[in-house]
């Protein structure tokens, strides 16, 4: 099947994913948040992104990745993902996060907001 012809019931999230990719949001987070974990198929950032997409898609728990993100290839592609991590590996990544990882995230978010917020630029 031609990837450009894929369907998603979550078209608004597809548009958001393409926009976030264009802005380079994930690369900013990847540069500042370092989760120490072995990489087999997906990096820790990939798994966090899959979790984030699941939350945006209305998932209440990590288990929702199986029904909301994994079957929706167009949604995965929009966020720059070629495939989706298993729910269990996403859970292991969340468990591997340390207090240091949690403290790295606000720095990344401050840089993202500073680079892309109109209000921040006018202050």
The percentage of residues in the chain with a pLDDT greater than 90, rounded to a whole number, is: 5
Confidence of residue 15 (pLDDT cuts 50, 70, 90): confident
More confidently predicted of 101 and 115: 101
How far are the Cα atoms of 20, 28, 105, 116 from residue 23, in angstroms, in the given order?
Answer: 5, 10, 17, 8
State the Cα–Cα distance between residues 17 and 10, nearest whole angstrom.
11
More confidently predicted of 11 and 93: 93
Confidence of residue 91 (pLDDT cuts 50, 70, 90): very high
For residue 100, pLDDT over 70 is answered with: yes
How far are the Cα atoms of 12, 17, 58 from residue 71, in angstroms, in the given order?
Answer: 17, 16, 15
Q: Would the pTM of this model clear 0.85, i.e. be above it?
A: no
Confidence of residue 1 (pLDDT cuts 50, 70, 90): very low
pLDDT tens sequence across 37-74 = 788 888 888 888 898 889 888 888 888 898 888 888 88
């Amino acid at each position: 099947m031609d990837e450009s012809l894929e369907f998603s019931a979550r078209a608004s999230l597809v548009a958001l994913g393409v926009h976030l990719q264009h802005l380079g949001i994930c690369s900013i987070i990847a540069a500042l948040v370092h989760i120490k974990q072995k990489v087999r198929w997906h990096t820790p950032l990939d798994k966090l992104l899959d979790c984030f997409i699941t939350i945006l898609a209305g998932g209440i728990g990590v288990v929702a990745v199986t029904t909301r993100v994994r079957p929706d290839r167009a949604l995965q592609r929009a966020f720059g993902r070629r495939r989706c991590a298993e729910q269990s590996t996403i859970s292991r990544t969340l468990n591997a996060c340390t207090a240091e990882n949690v403290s790295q995230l606000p720095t990344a978010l401050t840089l993202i907001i500073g680079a892309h917020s109109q209000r921040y630029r006018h202050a």
